[in-house]
Amino acid sequence: MGGKQRDGILKKNKLDDFDLRELIFVDANIFIDHGSANTSYGKSCEWFLERVESKNAVAITTTCRVR
């Protein structure tokens, strides 16, 4: 996915817009952006992952890979 396309999707789907009481699927990007201290998305990823860790949000992920 190109940078502009990803930016457009992320502007529409901000992490703080989600209802944190519902199950949220988390893909690898949130971990990559958090781990790499991404200047655009790192802080919101950190905020969201802290909510999951403190059980204020419900999230799942998978190790499954689609080719």
Residue type at position 25: F
Q: pTM, whole model, 2 decimals?
A: 0.68
pLDDT tens digits, residue range 26-62?
888 889 988 998 888 888 888 889 989 998 888 999 8
Label residues 20-57 b or e (16+ Cβ within 10 Å = b).
Answer: eeeebebeeebeebbeeeeeebbebbeebbebbeeeeb
Alpha-helical runs (H) found in 1-67: 3-12, 28-35, 42-53
In degrees rounded to 5, what are phi and psi of residue 37?
55, 45
pLDDT at 60: 92
In degrees rounded to 5, what are phi and psi of residue 58?
-115, 120
pLDDT tens digits, residue range 1-30?
555 665 555 555 566 677 777 888 888 888
pLDDT at 38: 83
